[in-house]
Structures are given as structure tokens and as C-alpha cells.
Structure 1
Amino acid sequence: MVAIRTTDDVVRARQLVRTFAQQCKLSLVDQTKLVTAASELARNTLVYGGGGSMRVQRVQLLARAGVSAVFEDSGPGIPDVDLAFTDGWTSGGGLGLGLSGTRRLVDEFELDTMVGRGTTITIVKWAR
């Protein structure tokens, strides 16, 4: 688990995800997609969630290997999930991907949020 409390932690989270992606033999393109998504979500955890954590692990489904990353915070939560998934909408100055763009970069994307409780986002990228 990586605590996400500073911008240096965002960098560490990104590096750890890249290491797992390489170990799972994701293609260079898929590594880049996963690392980009993880970077955006780690930054969101810090900026909008007030800090939190990321857990990353190798996952296996039959003969398929992949990488799962879970981002958790105890921040304010996302008040309007539909708006948050609107293409082009951003609440700040991130990479400009937004949640919709981040979701398109990975194979699986799960969002659990509640106002006043925080947000948990799980992403998975499978090796081809």
C-alpha cells in the first residue's frame, strides 16, 4: 500500500503501477494507459480526496494476468457522479482526462462514492 499525502507520493504510486505492469508483461501501450490512469487517480486522491492510499496487485483470471489498483480516500465524495463522468468536464487542473477519460484507459473501472464518506476507485488492466 502507498499512502498518498504529497505529490511525491503520486510519483511513487505511478512508479509502483509501472513496475507491476512490466511484471505482468503488459504491452508498452497498455503500460502507458494504466500508468496514465493511475497517475490521474492518485492525483485526484490527493487533490480532491485530501489524501488517501493506493493498493496495487497482480490479478489472475484463468490464463490472463493483469494489474489491479485501488485508490481510496475519506474526502467529501463525488456529489454528482453523472456530471463527473461527462466527457470534457473537469473540476480542476489535472491531466484533463476526467473520470470518463480515465475509465476508457483501463479494462475495468469501478467507482464507489458517497458524499461525506469518501471515494474508492478500482481499476484493472489485463495483459493481451
Structure 2
Amino acid sequence: MNQESRLIPVATDQDVVRVRQLVRTVAVEAKLSLVDQTKLVTAASELARNTLVYGGGGTVEVGRVRSEIRAGIRIVFADQGPGIADLDLALTDGYTTGGGLGLGLSGARRLVDEFAIDTAPGKGTTITITKWCR
């Protein structure tokens, strides 16, 4: 990412709250609109909770990024859990196992500008999201 990124271990519900607070702070500093701040914080909250509940905990890295033409926020959620056995199903609209906000991965994906997932059974899961400033 860059030198401004912060890594938060996620092992408890309180850590999920800390992720949400950090994402909100960084989104405000990056001058995201209030709507985009809310979208990013909502997606981050869902994905941090997934990291805890389904991945057995892990890390969240939050940082500012810059391309040639714009600035934004990139967040990486990583765990060493069981991985996602059926990624297509997990990315289906409306699919949830009932533990989070009910957004599921597809809902979180709709709230951000870029969404990438790397997972395999037994290998854990890494999800990277980016929200660009408008």
C-alpha cells in the first residue's frame, strides 16, 4: 500500500469496531463525500465481521492510495481461515449465512469501486476493496 497504511489485528468484536472507526477517520481525511464514507464504512464493517466470524480472525490494512488521476482508500482484509468453498454462491445477491449485516459479499462489493477476492478451501481469504474520491 503506502507508508500511511495501518494494520489492525481482528480477533474480537471490539476489533471490528476499531476497524470501522479507523475507516471512518481515513475516509474523512481523504475528503470522501458523506455518502461514500458511509458506503465504505458499511462495506468495511461487513468484511471485518466476516474476517472474524468465518475466517477465525485475521488482519485489516487500511491505507490511502493514489493513481495517476485520483486518490482513494484501499482496505485489505486477510485471514487464514477455511477459505470460501463456493465463491460463486457467496457472491450471489442476497446470499448470507445470517451472521453479518445481511449484505453478504455481493452487497459489500456493490458499495465500493473495486473489489477483489483471493480464496481457496484451506488457504484462507484475502479481500481487497478500493473507494476512489469523486
**TM over 0.5: same fold?**
yes
What fraction of aligned residue pairs are identical, expressed as a percent?
Answer: 70
Q: Which residue of 2 aligns with 1:36?
A: 42
Deviation at 1:9, TM superposition (A): 0.1
3-state SS of the aligned residue for 2:117?
Answer: strand
Q: Which residue of 2 aligns with 1:91?
A: 97
Q: Could you list the per-position Cα deviations for residues 33-88 of structure 1 after superposition, in whole angstroms to 9, with x for gaps in the alignment?
A: 00000000000000000000000100001231100000000000000000001111
Quote the RMSD (CA, aligned, Å): 0.6
3-state SS of the aligned residue for 2:36?
Answer: helix
Aligned equivalents of 2:96, 2:43: Cα separation in 1: 15
Q: Which runs of 5+ in 1 are unaligned?
A: none
Question: Once superposed, which parts of structure 1, at least 4 consecutive aligned residues long, lie more than 2 Å away?
Answer: none
Aligned equivalents of 1:89, 1:82: Cα separation in 2: 10
Aligned equivalents of 1:61, 1:19: Cα separation in 2: 21
Aligned equivalents of 1:112, 1:92: Cα separation in 2: 22
Segment drifting more, 21-30 vs 60-69: 60-69
3-state SS of the aligned residue for 1:96?
Answer: coil
TM-score of the superposition, structure 1-length normalised? 0.98
Q: Which runs of 5+ in 2 are unaligned?
A: 1-6
